[in-house]
Chains A and B, each alone.
Chain A
Amino acid sequence: MVGQQVEVKVLIGHPMETGYRLGDGGNERIPKNIIDKVTIRLNQEIILQAELGTGIAANPLFSVFVTVPSGAAMISVDWEDDQGVKGRAEKLLVST
């Protein structure tokens, strides 16, 4: 319904390697590899613009709240990690 507040959950598959964990045999540290930036948009409006640290759990989950607009509503997620790997996902918000 237009004007209603809905919860949007975004789950991103990423190991969020802190750089502190020891690898096989306990001899080497597994190199750091975390998602740096996440942007969640509703159409063109930014709902969440975040810089992540190692303190965000693996396979990050973000739960945000959006107000259902009239007309088309596309939720899009853009993320980038510290190795330069980028990801994007989109989902149409279908209001009944």
Chain B
Amino acid sequence: MMKEPLLKRTFLKQMTVLIGAMLSPCLMAIETSSLSEKQLKALNLKQEGVVLDLPPLADTGNSIPFSIQIQAPRQQLIQSFEIIAPENPNPLVLKVTLPNPKSNYRMATRIRLAMSQNVWVIAQLSDGSKISGVIPSVVTLNACFDAT
């Protein structure tokens, strides 16, 4: 009668919430560091809160200055983040953990890029969700062969 559809609706809603909760841990469990550019794109991560600085044209692949600024959305905290260069032989460039999660974080370093590619930064937030940023760089090399 009247009660049954309401129960059914509530039941469905509860099921949706449960499934949703089951899906997000699965997402977290995927090794982002072993993903290719295509797979990273397919993850459809939120592109927000992450500001990256990388020279668009690097004159060496050996040492490229890279700076990161992460701002977590309101009431969220950053727990960890990864720098991923999908075309590198070892795509996980750096993994930073914040034992005291912060709402914003800044750092800079120098990275190696094996070839021209996009560099991704994916941050894990306190509610289990992720935010990301991506920036491209074209890598050039020295012309002359150096046997020394």
Given contacts A49-B97, A50-B95, contact A58 B109 (CB under 8 A): no
3 nearest CB pairs, A to B: A55-B93, A57-B110, A57-B63
Q: Smallest distance from the beta carbon of A80 to chain B beta carbons, Å?
A: 15
Q: Are A63 and B62 in contact (CB under 8 A)?
A: no
Residues of A within 8 A of B (CB): 18, 20, 26, 45-46, 48-58, 60-65
Provide the residues of chain B in CB contact with A65, threshold 8 Å: 106-107
Given contacts A53-B92, A63-B107, contact A58 B97 (CB under 8 A): no
A53 to B109, CA, bound (A): 13
Interface centre among B64, B97, B106, B110 (most CB of A within 10 A): B110
Binds A, one of B40-48, B83-91, B130-138: B83-91
Given contacts A49-B98, A63-B107, A63-B109, contact A55 B62 (CB under 8 A): no
Beta-carbon nearest neighbor of A54 in chain B: B90
Answer whether residue B108 sits at the interface, using C-beta atoms and an 8 A cutoff.
yes
With beta carbons under 8 angstroms apart, the residue of B62, B93, B98, B147 that contacts A53 is B93
A57 to B62, CA, bound (A): 6
Majority secondary structure, A binding face: strand
Given contacts A20-B89, A63-B67, contact A57 B97 (CB under 8 A): no
Answer whether residue B29 sits at the interface, using C-beta atoms and an 8 A cutoff.
no
Interface centre among A45, A48, A52, A55 (most CB of B within 10 A): A55
Given contacts A61-B110, A64-B107, contact A55 B98 (CB under 8 A): no
Provide the residues of chain A in CB contact with B99, threshold 8 Å: 46, 49
Provide the residues of chain B in CB contact with A50, threshold 8 Å: 94-97
Q: Smallest distance from the beta carbon of A67 to chain B beta carbons, Å?
A: 11
Q: Smallest distance from the beta carbon of A40 to chain B beta carbons, Å?
A: 10
Q: Smallest distance from the beta carbon of B3 to chain A beta carbons, Å?
A: 54
Given contacts A48-B96, A49-B97, contact A55 B90 (CB under 8 A): yes
Q: Are A54 and B63 in contact (CB under 8 A)?
A: no
Beta-carbon nearest neighbor of A9 in chain B: B108
19 contacts between A and B (CB under 8 A): A18-B89, A18-B112, A26-B147, A49-B96, A49-B99, A50-B97, A51-B94, A53-B90, A53-B94, A55-B90, A55-B92, A56-B110, A56-B112, A57-B64, A57-B111, A58-B62, A58-B63, A63-B107, A65-B107
